[in-house]
Structure 1
Amino acid sequence: MSSWLTVVTALSSALIRIASFIFLRWIPGHVFPPVILTCSGLYLSSTFLILGTDAGAEVQKTTTVDKSKIQTRKHDTGETGSTFKSLLSGVPSKKTVFSTTLNILINLALTALTLDFLYRGRILHPTDDLAFSRIGYVSPTTANLLVREPHVSNFPMTIKYQEAAQVDSDYWVEEGKIYQLNAVKDFTFPVTIKNLKPSTQYRYSLSNNQTGTFITAPQSGTQSASRLSFLTSSCIKSNFPYNPLSHPLRILGVEELSHAIKKLPSLKRPSFMLFLGDFIYIDVPLRYGSSLEEYRAEYRRVYSSPSWHEPADEPPIDLPWIHTLDDHEIANDWDKGNLTHPYPEAVDPYHLYHVSVNPPIPPLPYATPENTTYFSFIHGPASIFMLDTRTYRTTANLYNSTMLGSAQLKSLLAFIARPEAAEVKWKIVASSVPFTKNWHVGTQDTWGGFLGERQVVLKAMWRAERELGVRIVLLSGDRHEFGATRFPDPSYGLSSNELSSGTADAYGIHEFSVGPLNMFYLPIRSYRQTDSEDIMVKYVPDGNIKFGQIDIELYDGTGGESDVVYDHLEGPHSVLTYSLHVDDKIIWKYQLSIPLLPDEIGTGAQARLPPGKVLLDDAQLRGWGLQEGIGYIEEKAKIAWDDLKERIAPFLSWERKEMRVD
């Protein structure tokens, strides 16, 4: 009986420690809390039984009978060895009071930290009373403002604005009043501030003491419209990796984002954040429910984070955020359409908090507006299409599988084929999941599970680049890693060297997939190139905080401000620079340009856009490949298990001897 108690105690103690470390610092998976809490109960129960009266009496009896053996054992192993063995195994003993007490405290503390991570934010920081405002989509003459105000005493609420450079601080323009809000729309209301000047900074003020600032977009055709800076990322989970001293709703990634913005020169301050999904994690670490109120509370919990208001002089809540939808806002790997539970409950707060202040729907949506959840807009030199990859998708890897649905696909193809104004040089397609099939874990949840539809889209993109004089860039998120991939146009007839990763002549449509803004990452490497269709440009898996910075500027041949001058390009050309931020620094920079290379035009050869160029590469790939990683884990697990058995076996053998009555 005692030997089984010892095994249960040692095993439950080991599981508490290993699972707690993984859960709190590595991956907040839903499987770990039940393991930790169950093992904690087992550990405390078995510890109580081992230290119980009968066991203690039996140990005392054995001690009296065979005192010489114990003295010999103490002489051989020493108190230090006994203490170390007890701390390692977690098994209690009345002879090692200090280590037994410490073991109990360690395992209780880890269990308490797990419960703290799960429930402190929910219990101590309720969000029903949250009042806040934020800026969404901004055009040259309008700005979308989201307001939440649940307190009846603050109505009617007046909305005013003024130019930030206004000398007379008492002169405000009144946009309107909100007379009441109610629970039907979770006390939210979208406001459009109109009659604004392009490229102008404004401040707004609400009578409930909510304030903020924003800058309008440039007017088409002006010099300001030749440049654009914005940010992109995905995936937010508060207070992860877990820190017991942090506010439970703190989002360190949002703070790092703000610090990075403050370091930028004024011309490269971002115009907006293009956030590509998983703004909430309804099912991580645990799904507490699937009701409408549960989904709404998750959005309020994220917006209740103090990180949105740090630093106070330039809070990140003032940056316009534009959103797409992904699976964790509904359920993991969601592919059950827009009628199946819990999609209706999940999409309600997504519409209230995000869609209501998002950009307009495309001019040709091919669906009624109330059934359209994809968007497009033009900002300076870029025309942007934001996909919804969840609402309309069907089961992957079938002959007729669709990621977008018929209406959205038609709208996207119309966007790709549409001629743009002369100053628009870039078409940007934003997808919550990667286009590349180079990720070999969860591939069917990406465009890798919808290769037929992907090929239709890529063919339209290649044709547009050849015929419209624009360059197309793909942005995505979801993977908690960074991957840059290019998709060469088959009509280029590229050589095998040009189709290999790491080549200096990086031709093709480029995708930049980045995340998380604040979430876990894995040391097991799952991205690798397997063919000549998806060419790896760069892979950076490490980092709990990752986001991309896109800077588009016009180089006029006089020096410009671009980091690399394309000497072979004559006359004005537009340059896009992608900077990858990991934690608190930029570790990789890459550059694309347009127009077509002039030395290819008129020669009979297929005209090509200039190849991409690496400007900076401070990223060091650490960790393991997928297959190597699995083998490594198996090897290390076997070594650890053998070592554990070796350490516990003598103790168990001694326990059996000590408990035996001859």
Structure 2
Amino acid sequence: MASLPRVVAAASSTAVRLFAYIFLRWIPGHPFVGIILTSLVVYFSSLWFVLQDQGASNERDRRKQKNTAKRPLKSDGEEPGDSVLKTLLTGLPSKRSPLWTCITALINIGVTLLALDFLLRSIVTWPSTDAAFSRIGYVSPTTANLLFREPDTAQLPVIVSYQQFEPTSEKWIQEGTVYRIDNSTDFTTSLTLRNLKPSTHYRYSLSNNKTGTFVTAPRPGSPEANRLSFVTSSCLKPNFPYNIMSHPLRVPGIESMTEALGKLPALLKPAFMLFLGDFIYIDVPFRFGSSIDHYRSEYRRIYSSPSWTFSSKYGPAIDLPWIHTLDDHEIENDWSRGNKTAPYPAAADPFIHYHVSANPPVPVKPFAHPDDVTYFSFVNGPASFFMLDTRTYRSEPTKENSTILGSAQLQSLLTYLARPEPAGVRWKIISSSVPFTKNWHIGTSDTWGGFLNERQIVFEAIWQAEREQGVRIVLLSGDRHEFAATRFPDPELTLSSDKLQPNTAGLGVHEFSVGPLSMFYLPIRTYYQTDDDDVSVKYAPDGNSKFGLIDIADDFEEAEPNASSPAPVRSSVLTYSLYVDGEVVWKYRLSVPHEYDPPGRTRSGKSWILHPGRVIEDKLVAEGWGAVFETALGTAETLGKALIQKGTKLYYEVIEKIARGREA
């Protein structure tokens, strides 16, 4: 029977290797570093006792051999089956070979050093205080927001110029001169390039040698305004999954996305990235502080990534305009304590300087002072956008009066939904950092599933807008490190049960939730349909890099595909393409007919009903027993938590009744 020190040594060695693998390749959770370091200490402590026992055993063997002429006996300290393979796999010492004992101990030291390298190398070797970059944010038909960082005062003043991107163009237009940048904004500043032409390719140049390109949005009502392509995703972490040979700030997802977008034809070139939160992970793997500078340093490191210079036929990654929403890891995991409680004020400082300053304008009616608003609205071609902030104004979830938006933002959203869009705008797109669907059954309270009363208010306004305005509303979200498409049918449609089955395309307001752009994903399935309110369309959890490409263009769709003679109708068609690790794996199509007479009736006199969505491509492997088993694990965890909560509640109810009985 193995001695206790040997059991402890084998168990702690296994823990070091297992949790290091999980930390570096699966999920970089902050508890794992402590577990790995503790396990390593326990391993060497137990190894010392094992070696001591072996030394004592060897001494007993020598005494026996000295007092007997018999063949040497097998040492009590050498376990049956002692071998090189056993030593390497378990971490246990080998009496036969001290060399392999040293090697297996070095393996444990090595994997621990890898974990520490992932945790510390970027912070120690890349403080990024000298980071300098420039990027384009929101672009309108006549303007473009430019953000840059320049910590070197010797480069001041910085002169900003632009010109049309033409081989023969020589005329540079000077937009402005920045004379001062200081630490109050972490040496960042933003300005707006004005008097631009719609649908025109430009380049900009700064006197500190920063340059880039962009394309302005189309003029409303122009032929170009019938088309729009953009990408969306969320969540990124440098150098994950961990690669010791990689730059510590490399973001593989940005590179794979840039490469994939570079293969698209010019018509599908995206106008911007709609990034839905978790641009930094202040608390993953470990929070080193909560000061303003700690938050600022995370932004500086991300913008110091060499992945921004990764280029395709459309130029480097940094040339794609990004517009941003806020989520929890830019503040603190599952944040729900408002915008006054620490560490929110420190977290908001760099978010405002690095992102809000280059974002779109606030809504026409924000119902709050514009300086205190972090939700945005804009129009680009055939689509109108409302970018929600689901972190800054939220309260504690699952309460009777819980709010995820706050009163001002809710009123602004409802006003936006009720407002008819100008001619040519066929889509209202609402972005949220967290999913609207409650079909995710782990961490549901952190999503709109923890604010169902407010969700119902928003959904009723959305359904009414679709019935009355001749637009289609699409929801975009992130956060979950998985992809799921969900539809929320309008109750007035009174759909039959066969049209509400899981994993079916059809009618309803659609949500596409996607992430991460470059981070971990969970192998345990936690998304599944439980009622007819949230109808699952597609679930794709796997992949360290996922993003959606949305393309809106005019096309012809069959008005009634099931009719004996379906008639093509000119429509605005939205195609959602899901990319996983750089490859298209799923496509879905929605449409809005151009023929529409408000309020609520088409020219044919029929009731206004939007066409069902439909899958046009699906390369994902059909779910088998593995997926069923993983879903069962997620369900078991959910049920286990529910049983514990109910058991705890019942326990206290019984105790309270007993106490009351004694008082009586």
User: After TM superposition, is the score higher than 0.5?
Assistant: yes
Does the 8 A contact of 2:526 with 2:634 survive in 1? Answer: no
Partner of 2:528: 528
Residue 603 of structure 1: how far off its partner (Å): 8.2
Residue 101 of structure 1: how far off its partner (Å): 2.0
Rounded Cα–Cα distance in structure 1 between residues aligned with 2:634 and 2:173 = 62
Rounded Cα–Cα distance in structure 2 between residues aligned with 1:7 and 1:605 = 76
Q: What SS is found at the alignment partner of 1:525?
A: coil
Whether 2:632 is the aligned partner of 1:628: answer: yes
Q: What SS is found at the alignment partner of 1:360?
A: coil
Residue 9 of structure 1: how far off its partner (Å): 1.5
Aligned-CA RMSD value:
2.5
Does the 8 A contact of 2:281 with 2:330 survive in 1? Answer: yes
Residue 82 of structure 1: how far off its partner (Å): 2.4
Rounded Cα–Cα distance in structure 2 between residues aligned with 1:353 and 1:567 = 55
Amino acid at match of 1:136: G
Partner of 2:584: 586
Q: What SS is found at the alignment partner of 1:119?
A: helix
Partner of 1:654: none
Whether 2:30 is the aligned partner of 1:30: answer: yes
Q: Deviations over 1:588-647 (max 9, x none)?
A: 0000001289998588874310000100111124545556226999xxxxxxxxxxxxxx
Does the 8 A contact of 1:486 with 1:511 survive in 2? Answer: yes
Aligned-pair identity in percent equals: 56
Whether 2:65 is the aligned partner of 1:61: answer: no
Residue 56 of structure 1: how far off its partner (Å): 1.8
Does the 8 A contact of 2:158 with 2:179 survive in 1? Answer: yes
Does the 8 A contact of 1:596 with 1:608 survive in 2? Answer: no
Change (3 A) 1:509 1:567: farther
TM-score, with structure 1 as normaliser? 0.90
Partner of 2:649: none
Partner of 1:107: 108
Does the 8 A contact of 1:524 with 1:624 survive in 2? Answer: no
Change (3 A) 1:540 1:194: same
Change (3 A) 1:373 1:201: same
Within 5 A, what are the aligned runs for 1:110-509? 110-165=111-166, 167-169=168-170, 171-311=171-311, 314-503=315-504, 506-509=506-509
Q: What SS is found at the alignment partner of 1:543?
A: coil
Partner of 2:593: 595
Q: Deviations over 1:16-39 (max 9, x none)?
A: 011011100001001100010111
Does the 8 A contact of 1:523 with 1:624 survive in 2? Answer: no
Does the 8 A contact of 2:569 with 2:593 survive in 1? Answer: no
Residue 90 of structure 1: how far off its partner (Å): 1.2
Change (3 A) 1:595 1:189: same
Does the 8 A contact of 2:238 with 2:249 survive in 1? Answer: yes
Rounded Cα–Cα distance in structure 1 between residues aligned with 2:78 and 2:252 = 52
Amino acid at match of 1:430: S
Higher mean alpha-carbon deviation, 157-166 vs 433-442, is at 157-166
Amino acid at match of 2:248: P
Partner of 2:573: 575
Q: Deviations over 1:339-381 (max 9, x none)?
A: 0000000011000000000000000100001111100000000
Rounded Cα–Cα distance in structure 1 between residues aligned with 2:15 and 2:296 = 35
Rounded Cα–Cα distance in structure 1 between residues aligned with 2:414 and 2:356 = 22
Q: What SS is found at the alignment partner of 2:499?
A: coil
Residue 102 of structure 1: how far off its partner (Å): 2.1
Change (3 A) 1:303 1:624: farther
Change (3 A) 1:429 1:183: same
Residue 65 of structure 1: how far off its partner (Å): 2.0
Q: What SS is found at the alignment partner of 2:35?
A: helix
TM-score, with structure 2 as normaliser? 0.89
Q: Deviations over 1:54-91 (max 9, x none)?
A: 7524423235526747459999966xx52233223211
Rounded Cα–Cα distance in structure 1 between residues aligned with 2:374 and 2:79 = 73
Q: Deviations over 1:442-487 (max 9, x none)?
A: 0000001111110111111111111001000000000000000000
Q: Deviations over 1:124-161 (max 9, x none)?
A: 11200001001000000100010100001111111111
Does the 8 A contact of 2:200 with 2:216 survive in 1? Answer: yes
Higher mean alpha-carbon deviation, 89-98 vs 10-19, is at 89-98
Rounded Cα–Cα distance in structure 1 between residues aligned with 2:441 and 2:636 = 18
Rounded Cα–Cα distance in structure 1 between residues aligned with 2:493 and 2:565 = 22
Amino acid at match of 2:476: L
Rounded Cα–Cα distance in structure 2 between residues aligned with 1:402 and 1:631 = 27
Change (3 A) 1:520 1:360: same
Q: What SS is found at the alignment partner of 1:204?
A: strand
Q: Deviations over 1:510-541 (max 9, x none)?
A: 00000000111111100000000000000000
Does the 8 A contact of 2:134 with 2:148 survive in 1? Answer: yes
Change (3 A) 1:631 1:267: closer
Does the 8 A contact of 2:526 with 2:635 survive in 1? Answer: no
Amino acid at match of 2:342: H
Rounded Cα–Cα distance in structure 1 between residues aligned with 2:312 and 2:588 = 32
Q: Deviations over 1:253-306 (max 9, x none)?
A: 000110011100001000000000000000000011111100000011111100
Rounded Cα–Cα distance in structure 1 between residues aligned with 2:445 and 2:45 = 44
Change (3 A) 1:623 1:495: closer
Residue 162 of structure 1: how far off its partner (Å): 0.6
Rounded Cα–Cα distance in structure 1 between residues aligned with 2:439 and 2:636 = 22
Rounded Cα–Cα distance in structure 1 between residues aligned with 2:407 and 2:589 = 34
Gaps of 5+ in 2: 559-563, 638-664
Rounded Cα–Cα distance in structure 2 between residues aligned with 1:156 and 1:233 = 36
Amino acid at match of 1:346: A
Rounded Cα–Cα distance in structure 1 between residues aligned with 2:206 and 2:42 = 55
Partner of 2:553: 553
Q: What SS is found at the alignment partner of 1:175?
A: strand
Q: What SS is found at the alignment partner of 1:497?
A: helix
Amino acid at match of 1:407: A
Rounded Cα–Cα distance in structure 2 between residues aligned with 1:373 and 1:255 = 29
Amino acid at match of 1:155: L
Q: Deviations over 1:233-269 (max 9, x none)?
A: 0000110011111111000000011001110000100
Does the 8 A contact of 2:57 with 2:75 survive in 1? Answer: no
Rounded Cα–Cα distance in structure 2 between residues aligned with 1:291 and 1:515 = 28
Q: What SS is found at the alignment partner of 1:554?
A: strand
Within 5 A, what are the aligned runs for 1:511-526? 511-526=511-526
Change (3 A) 1:21 1:63: farther
Change (3 A) 1:466 1:312: closer
Gaps of 5+ in 1: 560-565, 634-662
Residue 49 of structure 1: how far off its partner (Å): 4.2
Rounded Cα–Cα distance in structure 2 between residues aligned with 1:416 and 1:69 = 88
Does the 8 A contact of 2:229 with 2:268 survive in 1? Answer: yes
Residue 105 of structure 1: how far off its partner (Å): 1.6
Does the 8 A contact of 1:17 with 1:110 survive in 2? Answer: yes
Residue 99 of structure 1: how far off its partner (Å): 2.7
Residue 12 of structure 1: how far off its partner (Å): 1.1
Rounded Cα–Cα distance in structure 2 between residues aligned with 1:45 and 1:157 = 60
Change (3 A) 1:407 1:625: farther
Partner of 1:641: none
Q: What SS is found at the alignment partner of 1:288?
A: coil
Amino acid at match of 1:336: R
